[in-house]
Amino acid sequence: MPNPPAPGAPRRSPYVTPEGRRRLEAELDALWRVERPRVTREVSVAAAQGDRSENAEYIYGKKRLREIDRRVHFLRKRLDELQVVVPSAEQEGRIFFGAFVTLESEEGEVVEYRIVGPDESDAATGAISIDSPMARALLRREEDDEVVVARPAGRARFTVLRIRYAACDEPSD
């Protein structure tokens, strides 16, 4: 489970895809309605065993409750700040928030990224934060554009092969 940004860290963009918001709401619901009551019961059982100072189940349970409460607080506050962004027809052909972008590197490697909010970024699935250097370099670009990205490993050049917006981004309301 991702942690809130550290104090003094740069402010994160308030944008989220519709499915990203649904995932955050589902996480909040699961923590509040399932995980927290389960851990609370476990802590109560452990507390009934007597000496709490050396009771590992009690100590771990209390720590886990603090983690859950911290995450619940963060999610509630963050969900209030988030703005759901749904791609529009005017965006077709250009890279904006929510776009799936297929790129080719100078070495000929083809990769696909999706530009999402910082709360839903996941390098393993190619979901990159709109705040990342790669996403910032790609914004407003079109197919066949060349993009140079400054990365920790050095500058890299990419060609935009394809831009698409998923049908699943339509609001479910």
Q: Give the DSSP letter of residue 132.
A: S
Are 102 and 154 within one domain?
A: yes
pLDDT at 148 over 60: yes
Q: Are 79 and 28 in contact (CB under 8 A)?
A: yes
What CATH number has the domain bearing residue 136?
3.10.50.30
Give the CA dihedral 82, 64, 10, 156, nearest 10 degrees: -90
- Domain boundary, last residue among 61, 84, 107: 84
Q: Which class for 3: exposed (0-12), middle (13-18), buried (19 or more C-beta within 10 A)?
A: exposed
Beta strands in the chain (DSSP E): 15-16, 83-84, 100-105, 110-116, 127-129, 146-151, 154-164
Query: 73 and 122 share a domain?
Result: no
Q: Tell me which of 57, 84, 111 is where a domain ends.
A: 84
How much is the pLDDT for 172? Answer: 42
Same-domain status, 23 and 70:
yes
Binned at pLDDT 50, 70 and 90, residue 72 comes out as very high
pLDDT at residue 55, as a whole number = 85
Number of domains in the chain: 2
In terms of domains, do 72 and 97 share one? no
Tell whether pTM > 0.95: no
Has residue 59 been placed in a domain? yes
Contacts of 9 (CB under 8 A, 6+ apart): none
Same domain, 111 and 161: yes
Q: What percent of the chain has pLDDT over 90?
A: 74
Q: Report the largest interatomic distance among the alpha carbons of the chain, rounded to a whole angstrom.
A: 69
Predicted local distance difference test score (pLDDT) of residue 170: 45
Q: 125 phi and psi, to 5 degrees?
A: -105, 0
Tell whether 74 and 93 lie within a shared domain.
no
CATH code, domain with 61: 1.10.287.180
What confidence score (pLDDT) does residue 10 get? 60
The identity of residue 70, as a single letter, is R
* pLDDT band at residue 169 using 50, 70 and 90 as cut-offs: very low
User: Which structural domain, as residue segments, surrounds residue 96?
Assistant: 89-166
**Which secondary structure element, helix H or strand E, spans residue 39, and what is its range?**
helix 36-47
